[in-house]
Structure 1
Amino acid sequence: MSKGEENVGVTERRAAVILLLTMVLLGVFPLDVLLPSFPALADHFRTTPADIALSISLFAIGMSLSQLLIGPLSDVIGRKGLLLAGMVVSIIGALGCVMSTEYAWFLMFRLVQAIGCGCFVLAQALVQDLFDGKVRDQLRILMVTASGIFISVSPLAGTVLQHAMDWPGSFIAFIALAAAVFLKACFFLENQRPATAPSKGMLQSYRMICRDTGFLGYWLVAAIAFTCHFSFIVISPLIFMEQLQLSPYEFSLTLLFYGVAYLFGGVVARVLANRIAPNTQIIVGLGLIFLSGILMLWLSAMLGLSTQTILIPMVVCTAGTTIARPVATSKAMDIFPDNAGTSASAGNTLVFVFGGLVSALINLSASHLQVTLAISFLALSTVGIGVNALISQRHQAMNTG
C-alpha cells in the first residue's frame, strides 16, 4: 500500500483504520483487563495479589524494551514482517500463561507475551506511512480517544470474562483478538520495505532523533498529556475501592462513565483541529488540564472526596488530553518521517516511562490522593505550556535567522 492519502481508497482507508484501532486495543488490553482477576490468579498460583501485580510491572518493562528494538528494525526491513512475528510471539506467550501451573512459568510466559506486544508500537509508524496531512492528525485523535475508551472499558470487560471463564478468560480473549489482527495484517499490509531505508544504525538513529529539541519537546508534551490520564487510571482503584468503598463492579461502571469523557474530548479535538493552529491546540489542551487541577482542588475543599468531585474534573482533564496529545504526537512524528519506527519507539518509551514515574510518585501520597492528583495536573500542564512556548520560540528564531 503506497504512502499518502491520495493513494488510499475508501475501502482501504476503512480497513487501515480498523487494523490500527485493533492494534491500539491490543496494546492496552493485556494490562487493565487482568485487574479483576488478581484474587483468582493469586489463588490458582498459591501466591499473593502483590505477586500477581508484579506480572503487570514485568509486562510493562518487557513491552517497553521490546518496542525499542522493533521500531528501528521496522525502518530497515519493513513493518509487516515484524508486526506478524510480534503477534505470533504474543499469542504463544498468552497460551503459555493459560497452560501454566506454576507462578514462575506464568511470569516467564507473561514476559514472552509482553515482548510480542512490543510490535503494537508500529501503529504510530503505520499512521505515518499510510496517511498524510489532516487525515493523519484526525486519525491520531481517533486513536487517542479509542485508547482512553478501551482503558476505561477494560476492567468491566475483565469482570465479565472472569465470571464467564475464570482468570484464563482475558488471555483467551487476547488470543482471539490477536489472531484476528494477524489475519487482517496478512491480507491488508503489503510486504515492502520503507521507500527510504535509513543508512544509520540503530544507536545512530536514536542519537540523531534524540538530539532534536523539537522532537523531544513535542513528545514530552504528549507524555505530559498522557500522564495526567494515566495517573488517574493507576490510582483510581485506591480512590474508588479503598477510600470510597465501591465494589469492583461499581468501580468498573465508574470507569465506563469516564470513558464517555474520551468521546466528548475526541469530538472537541476534531472540531478544533479544523479551526485553530496546532500549537494553539496544544495550549488549549494543556489549559484544560490546568483548569481541571484548579477545579479538583476547589471541589475537594468545598465538598470533600466523592465520586463526583473526582469525575467532574477528570472530564475536563480528559478533554485536554485528547486535544493536546494527538497534535503533539503528529508534530513530533513529522520531524523524522523516514525514521517513523524509531521515532515511534523513542516517543512511546518516553511517554510510558514518564507516566509510570509520575504515577508512582502520586501513589506515594496514599492519604491525600485527590489533592496530590490536582497539584500534579497544575504542575504538569504548566511545564507543558512552557515547553511548547520554548519550541515555538526556537522555530521562530530559526525561520527569521
Structure 2
Amino acid sequence: MTTYLDFCATTPVSKPVAELVHQFMREEFGNAGSRTHEFGLNAKRAVEVAREQVARVVEADKSEVIFTSGATESNNIAILGLVDFAAESDKKHIISSRIEHKAVIEPLEHLESKGFEITYISVGENGLIDTDELKLALRHDTLLVTLMHVNNETGCIQPIKEICELLSDHDAYFHVDAAQSYGKLSEELKNSRIDMISASGHKLYAPKGVGALVTRRRGFTKIPLKPLMYGGGQEKGLRPGTLAVPLIAGFGLACEIAYDEAKDWLKQTAFKKNVLKAELSELGAIENGENTSPYILNFSIPGINSEAAMVSFKGLIAVSNGSACTASSYKPSHVLTAMNLGHERIMGAIRLSLSPNSDIPGGDIVAALKRLI
C-alpha cells in the first residue's frame, strides 16, 4: 500500500468533516439565500457558524470572513480587487517576492501588464525574504505588500511579525497567503496589522473547492475591495453566487478541530520530521531552506535526480518534487531557483509533507534512494 506524504498538495477529508458535509448535502440541503422556510434558515445558520469557526483561528470577527472557492480565488480578490482603489488613490506600486505561489505571481503579472509597478523582494539560500530590502522598497505610493506565510515547496516560515512591525507606520495593505499555515501555524496570523489572509479548505482536512479571505477592518474602515464577478450580491457583494453550504460547514468544522488540536499536531509532525531527517542524513541529504514548518521537508541528495526518485517511489510512497498546482508540465522550481540553489540541487529536490496521522516509512524512503546512488 502506498504511503501518502504529499499533504501540501491536498489532505484527506477528516471523518467528522465528511459526515457533516454529507449531512448538508443529503438532509439539510437548503439554499442559504432562501429566507421563507426552515431549510434555507438552517443553511444560513450553518454558514454563520462556519464563519465564526474560521474567524476564531486568527482572532478575526466573523463579519470579516468571506467564503471563496479556495486560496487561489482569495489571492485574486485580495490583489485584483484593489485595482479601482489604486486608480483613485494613484497608488500602483506593489511589493511581493519571487517565491510566491503562482496564484499570487500571475495576478501580479497581469497588473504589471496594465501599468502597475511590482517590486520583488529577494530571498537568500535560506528561503527567507530580506526584510531590510522590504523596508527600502516601501514608497509613498505602495498600495499592497503580498507575501506568503509558509512556502508550499520548502516550508520556509516568513518573518510575518517583523514585516508587520515594518508596516506599522505605513498605510500599504498587507496580504498574507496562508494556504499552508491556516489552522496549523496560526499564531502570527492573529496580528491585526495583517489586512487580508487567504486560506484553503483542502489543506486542512476539509473538502476541495472551499476557502476564505479574511478582510480585517482598520478601525471601522473596510478594505476598498471590489468584486471580480457580479450577480446576486452574496458575501457582502464581494463574491457572488449561491453559497456551497456543505463545503462551508465542513471547512468551518475543520477550522474548529484545527484550533483545538494545533499544538498536538505540531508536536507529532515535528517528531516525525526529525526522524526522517535523521534517517536521510546517512545519504548526505541537504535540507532546502531554513526556519521551516514541521509539516514540510524539502531536501536534495547529491547525485540523485528527483524525477528518478519519483519513479523509484512509485507504489511505495506518494511525494512531490514541486507544487501540485503547477504540475501540468514539470519545470525547475521557481522557488528553489529564486533561492539561487545550484542546478543539481534544484533538479534533485524532493518534498515530503506530513500529517499528524501519517505513517513515516523512513526506512523505505532511504532504501529506495540508496538504489539510485
TM-score (norm 1): 0.27
Structure in which a larger fraction of residues adopt strand: 2
TM-score (norm 2): 0.29
